[in-house]
Amino acid sequence: MRGVFWIRNFFFRVYRFIKPFKDERLNFFFLMSVFLVLIYSWRIFDLSYFKKDYWIKQVRNQFAGKIKLAPPKGAILDRNGTVLAASEKVVSFYVRPSEIKDWKLFESIILRNKKVLQEYSSLKKIPVDKLENLLLPFSWITKKDLEKAYKKKYTVVVIKKSNGKKVERKVPFVWLKKRLSVGVEESARAVRVALRIYYALSGENRFKKRYPDILGYSTEYKRVYPYAVGSTVVGITSPFGEGLTGLERYLERKKLIVGKSVVITGRKDARGRVYLGTNATLFVTKEKGKNVELTIDGNLQYIVEKVISKYGKKWHPRFINAVLMDPNTGEILAAASWPFFNYEEPEKGGPLTPRYAVAPYEPGSAMKPFVLAAALNEGLITPNTVFFCPAHYEVGKKVFHNEFHGRDVKLRAWEIIQYSDNVGIIKVAQLLGKKRLYRYYKAFGFGEKTGIELPGESPGILRNWKKWRDVDFATLAFGHNISVTTLQLAAAYSAMVNGGIYYKPTFLKAVIDDKGRVLKEFKPEPERRVISERVSKEMRRILTMVVEGGTGTATRFENFYIGGKTGTALRYNPKIHGYDKSKINATFAGAFPMTNPRYVLVVSVVEPKVPRNMLWASKIAVPIFREIAERVLLYERVAPDRKKYFIAGNGCVESVDINQDFTFKNGLQQKKK
């Protein structure tokens, strides 16, 4: 109260001091005018100087609007130019149920009811058949879709005000049918005809409606997969076009298939609608996303998926992985994991997980060739070095058995791989030592991510050699106490047979434009030399002996040398705190044609549900490998490396054996099982 009193006295004193007029009323009016001028002057100064940017922004928001034009994504192609994924322009129909007074009439028009069309036909003298054809885009819309839209009536949207607060508002707008593969022109014509029929028969005045467009359409882009292969590689997008899995997600994040959005401005009306003007879009161009060419061959991918699906339905395993690579470049030609998502039957769903890259497992004896290759590369042994392999061999209070049913045998180094002898490979590993074996395992890519262009890749499990007990060291030699992915095995076998160089696996070949011009090429990346070229050649011969007379004889071809290694590992069961003899991981990793490998193929089958006498990789993984390899060789028309065919003088096709010295012939044992 004292403050108010003091201010009042202050103004009265000023008033008494300044009296330009004799009339008290004029003096009071004058002083009040001066006071108001000062206040308004200060306010104008405040708005034009201190808060200028804020108010200019507010005015622009009220009278100017922006429209963002999002371009379509680029296509994903296989190495032959076949489209694996592309953006297709589609149409979505919307309706405003709250603005439609005669819903039954509207429903009859959309469903192309003949009585309604005949009524309009007689009124406007237009043939009924012509009307039906014009309304054909609505044939995708069902009565159920219309009932659902009518019940919904509104769409609730959240609007953010200038003060930051969010409010919900009901908008008289409902999607009737989304993402239909129908022509834009046909859709626009159908909407115009439907509206004309409705307003003509209902008697409503469209110009008196708040929203005359009681029916309309919108165009957008939908991702389609025309070749319908490679779902675990290519992946899928969300309904809004965002990459969710696989290369769709990776390439979007790297901005390789995403174009540049264009933002154009225009004037707003009282309802907030933006008008660009007649010349606004004359110079607007949207930069479409670039096309990406993959290393995948769509036909080889189809072969792999077809074969593993066949055996998946036959044996019902947890999953089957298969990776086909070019060992000389690191390019992945095909990769699949059954069960997988089927593009042709999206309603059935299915896993999109690339388990060949994200699900490590114990590979078993498929690891033995790496131990032997390391020992050969270190100069500790030769392929013909003889090892004494007793029937029972104790390491750290654990007894290991050889593969000869109680017989003490002598084996050459290459025979240890041919017969997959555990005792023999333990002795090779002991000769090599823990530190060197760990170093070679790391050099072959185990325990680390390959760097493949897929999210969620697993590095597998490889503990540091300092943590290995003697028993762990022994079991590591034949693929236990280590977890690898199918992709890691494929990359490692590629390094083993291609001359000893480790290449980074990749799915990407090039970025190209719509005219086919290469904008960026992804060249093979040789990362390191793991073994010498001489040792690599010896390992090709040794792996061939597995097929010629060892555990992989079911993959033997008449015209080609095939090489590889089986791997059977028991699955750990946490319920029994140990390995379960009824559950296995079955693996076959190999290459072909072996004299000059063009392909490396790794097949892994986890927990097949088969009789106990079938629980061997030679009976589970080998048949899958053989069928894929056979179909790949036929498709690629690869020249045989085991026989040479020619036309004899009598006109008959004859053959002679070639590369006969490629295999070993000095074995010490003839396996008896």
SS3 of residue 227 by DSSP: coil
pLDDT score of 172: 82
Domain check: are 210 and 289 in the same one?
A: yes
How many of the other CB atoms lie within 10 Å of CB of 203?
A: 8
- Determine the Cα–Cα distance for residues 604 and 484; give it in Å rounded to an integer: 11
Structural domain includes residue 54: no
Domain check: are 281 and 305 in the same one?
A: no
Helix (H) or strand (E) holding 337: strand 332-338
Nearest CA to 589 out of 637, 560, 624, 633 is that of: 624
Residues with Cβ < 8 Å from 541, sequence gap 6 or more? 383, 414, 563, 662, 663, 664
SS3 of residue 458 by DSSP: coil
pTM: 0.82
How many of the other CB atoms lie within 10 Å of CB of 439?
A: 14
Q: Are the C-beta atoms of residues 88 and 181 closer than 8 Å to each other?
A: yes
pLDDT score of 58: 61
CATH number of the structural domain spanning residue 412: 3.40.710.10
Structural domain includes residue 58: no
Nearest CA to 599 out of 312, 331, 201 is that of: 331
Of 293, 325, 357, which marks where a domain is finished? 293
pLDDT score of 289: 83
Structural domain includes residue 11: yes
Domain check: are 220 and 77 in the same one?
A: yes
By DSSP bridging, strand 64-69 and strand 166-171 are: unpaired
Domain check: are 362 and 267 in the same one?
A: no
pLDDT score of 673: 40
- Determine the Cα–Cα distance for residues 32 and 29; give it in Å rounded to an integer: 5
- Determine the Cα–Cα distance for residues 163 and 216; give it in Å rounded to an integer: 33
By DSSP bridging, strand 76-77 and strand 291-294 are: parallel
* Encoded amino acid at 663, one letter: T
Domain check: are 397 and 452 in the same one?
A: yes
Q: Are the C-beta atoms of residues 95 and 191 closer than 8 Å to each other?
A: no
Domain check: are 403 and 319 in the same one?
A: yes
Domain check: are 264 and 409 in the same one?
A: no
Total domains present in the chain: 3
Read off the tokens for 400.
């290991």
Burial of 42 (0-12, 13-18, 19+ CB in 10 A): exposed
- Determine the Cα–Cα distance for residues 37 and 14; give it in Å rounded to an integer: 17
- Determine the Cα–Cα distance for residues 418 and 548; give it in Å rounded to an integer: 9
pLDDT along the chain (673 residues), means of 10: 66 64 70 77 73 64 51 90 92 88 90 90 88 90 90 76 71 86 90 90 82 84 91 90 91 86 52 46 59 96 97 95 98 96 84 94 96 98 96 93 91 96 96 97 97 94 95 95 97 98 97 90 93 98 95 93 96 84 94 97 96 94 97 95 87 89 86 46
Q: Are the C-beta atoms of residues 604 and 486 closer than 8 Å to each other?
A: yes
Domain check: are 288 and 303 in the same one?
A: no
Structural domain includes residue 310: yes
* Encoded amino acid at 305, one letter: E
Structural domain includes residue 142: yes
How many of the other CB atoms lie within 10 Å of CB of 337?
A: 27
Residue 427: C-alpha distances to residues 6, 314, 395, 436 (Å): 105, 39, 10, 14
pLDDT score of 16: 63
The range of the structural domain enclosing residue 319 comes to 298-662
Domain check: are 369 and 275 in the same one?
A: no
Structural domain includes residue 39: no
SS3 of residue 606 by DSSP: strand
Structural domain includes residue 522: yes
Of 248, 269, 293, which marks where a domain is finished? 293
Q: Are the C-beta atoms of residues 641 and 561 closer than 8 Å to each other?
A: yes
Structural domain includes residue 45: no
pLDDT score of 242: 86
Domain check: are 333 and 287 in the same one?
A: no
Domain check: are 435 and 572 in the same one?
A: yes
Domain check: are 308 and 283 in the same one?
A: no
Q: At what angle do helices 184-202 and 114-124 cross, to 10 degrees?
A: 80
Of 293, 316, 351, which marks where a domain is finished? 293
pLDDT score of 173: 83
Dihedrals phi, psi of 584, to nearest 5 degrees: -135, 160
